[in-house]
Every structure is written in C-alpha cells, then in structure tokens.
Structure 1
Amino acid sequence: MNILDVFKNKVGSLLNESDQEANEKLIELATFFYKIDNRVSLEEQRYVDELMGTIEWSSTISIE
C-alpha cells in the first residue's frame, strides 16, 4: 500500500469544498509526509504540485 494512494483516497473529497481552512490543512498534511523522512520523492513533489494547482486558494499568503 502506497501512502500517497491512501492520502489521495482519504482526503480527495475535501478538494471539492471551497473551505480555506480545509485547503490549508490539506497542504500542511501533504508536506508533513515528506518532512518525516527529510527527503522529497519525485512522486510526492508531483502530488503536492497537483494539489496546489487544483484547490481553491483565497488567502493573502501564497500557496507556495
């Protein structure tokens, strides 16, 4: 079982919501996974890039 697949399945439904707080938590959780082992795999980076490109972001703080 791949952790990214589990993550995508568990939180995928949240992406359809426009709640800024939920979107911030999704980004925080996505980055947490690669902070654990102090490295970023190409697959993890692609997923985070895709996530940032698909969620609605309405904060004065940049999503990046």
Structure 2
Amino acid sequence: MGEIVNLRLRRKAKARAEKERIAEENRVRFGRPKSEKERERRLSDLEQKRLEAHRLSRDEEDGPEA
C-alpha cells in the first residue's frame, strides 16, 4: 500500500516553500546597499550611452541617393 498523505499539510508546505522562494528573490533584488545600486545604475547608463554613440543617423541608413 502507498503512504497516507495529508493533502492539507502538503498544500500548506507547498505555499510556504513558494513564499520562501519569492522572499529569497526579493532579498537578492532589493537587499543591496545603496552604493551597489548606484554603481549598477551608473554602469547601465554608461552602456546605454555607448550604444547610442554607435547608432547610425537617419541619413546614413537611407544610403546614397541616386
């Protein structure tokens, strides 16, 4: 015979595990020091500026006019 399982307890355990998983994600996402967040924001801004600097202008995309 199989093992008898209390579904109510299993459901509660699953819900607890899901809450813990979400809490862990939030600790990683929001639990950083201000200096680390600022550094990440500056790096992101720098990457965005580099990307914009390499963007072709509208005239160059159309090519030479015939």
Structures share fold, TM-score greater than 0.5: no
Q: TM-score scaled by structure 2?
A: 0.31
Give 1 or 2: higher helix fraction.
2
Larger relative contact order, structure 1 or 2 (CA cutoff 8 Å, min sep 6)? 1
